[in-house]
Structure 1
Amino acid sequence: MALLALVSVGGLLFDDRMLVGVPIWTKPFKFAVSFVAYCMTLAWMLTLLPRGRRVGWWAGTVLAAASAVEMVLITTQVVRGRQSHFNNETPFDSALFQAMGITVVVLWLAALVIAVLLLRAKILDRATAWSVRLGSLIALAGAAVGFLMVRPTPAQRAAGVDAGIVGAHSVGVPDGGPSMPVTGWATTGGDLRIAHFFGMHALQVIPLLLLALVALAPRFARLRDERVRLRLTLVASGTYAAVFALTTWQALRGQALLDPDGTTLAAAGATALLGAAATWAALRAPAPSSSPASTSASAGTETPFADKEFTA
């Protein structure tokens, strides 16, 4: 996967072909980088499992293999100068796109197995446990947004069997129109890739946030308490899920990310206010506890991301 990312960089540098309004190697580059981050994060999460590691290993292997097949199919279409996603212009293009659909379903089901294993696992630090559990669940929802993209647009439904391209990233506007630099997200209509990207990367963002809290604990006494870190992790996860839902809703209504209407702004404001209030409540001093686990957590001797069991 990393090798395909490097090949894509070379393509971006030396191949000036354009496809759907962007350099043709942009898609394989973004997919390769995303898959590398996704697979590495899941591999780390699997090390936290006290039980079920064999099942987790097989699920991770299937996921990595499906990702590799997806990348090979995308790269094949790039070499051919053809659109990879939604392309039914020829029987061969259609067969490749259907194969991509199968690999995505397999990938999603493998990630679901890993999420279930994480939900059942007894991990030492509760904040760590919930950061990986909720991060994996939100990532599953983010990946599922991709299934919304294969629906035919109104224009494609009107064209019927003559529509060579069936499905789109954008809502309300055709793919390949005005877009943001780097991301390529539509600026004149909705774009489901925003929610897709935001949701999937909860897998990295939420555990990294917890890691930041642990790093700040020596400087801020309140963060040394594992219960406070757990509260903040739950608040961050809930807020992240709300923003993911908001970006999905905004895209489905055909609204560009940077051109929200009053309803979207009101929902965003309410999410921000609730998130801030919940963060303030989470930072309140926990009730005193004399249990050994709580005492060691308050003293900073327990740290997240350890591979041990705890009693819930």
Structure 2
Amino acid sequence: MKPKIFIDGEHGTTGLQIRALLAERGDLEIISIPAERRKETAARAEFLNAADIAILCLPDDAAKESVSLITNDTTKVIDASTAHRVAEGWAYGFAEMDRDQAKTIASAKRIANPGCWPQGPIATLRPLVTAGLLPADFPITVNGISGYSGGGRPMIEDYVAKGEDASEFLPYGLTLQHKHVPELRAYAKLSHDPIMQPAVGNFAQGMITVVPLQLGGLDHVPSGADLHAAIADHFAAIKGGVVEVAPYAHLERMPEIDPEVYNGTNRMKVYVFANDKRAQALLLAVYDNLGKGASGAAVQNMDLMLGA
């Protein structure tokens, strides 16, 4: 019997991407609410409880409501909203975060799908804090650029309407209260809130995250090679992961560091650059904000939960 998958919010940006990724999957049964019943709470409850796995692609409050509508002990949940990312009882759906995280996801009934922006910084910072190369209270700043699909339907419609007149580089999060800060702090093992200042570009999807490090104030200043080795060792120990670590290199620029290079995939590639004389480093990650950053991660988590 094929597992039943219900995407609650299948007509939003993330939901549509998940439907596309699952379109050719003959091993699954995708169940959907009939169009005429789509706004009925009773219909949502019916389909949520009929599913083996429910994937929630909803605003936070609606996602919480969906969870409350599940009355059985069999439906497993993957929540793509922000609602449960640091909630007790929910496993964080970044399979490569730790050596045993994929097993944790596979055995969990409630998975909080990661946000797109925190995954790159978590991938580069967590191994360094774990290895003792960075203290938990190290001051962290995160910046970078994402495609406009990261802003959901309103931003997509705005950028498409403006076409070439849309902003090529639009900083946001200027109130320093970005919704992804709590999960970034928690899963990067930081003891203080980082500064997160993202930007959106005039392209649909893809992203680069950048974490600059001023290392000179540390009692023991790690070299760039030290940083790279810790990150590389972390991901080398994870079987079946989709995160790749680029070779350590001293280069002024690399054309392959393109925010759109992994679009349509679930891959992530991380880079370490450093100037040891200046005691400075940069940690970069490149991935698809709708792939590893959203829909692709949800499908990866679903497969882990199904034992695939």
Give TM-score, length-normalised by structure 2.
0.24
Give TM-score, length-normalised by structure 1.
0.24
Larger Rg: 1
| Structure with greater strand percent | 2
| Structure with greater helix percent | 1
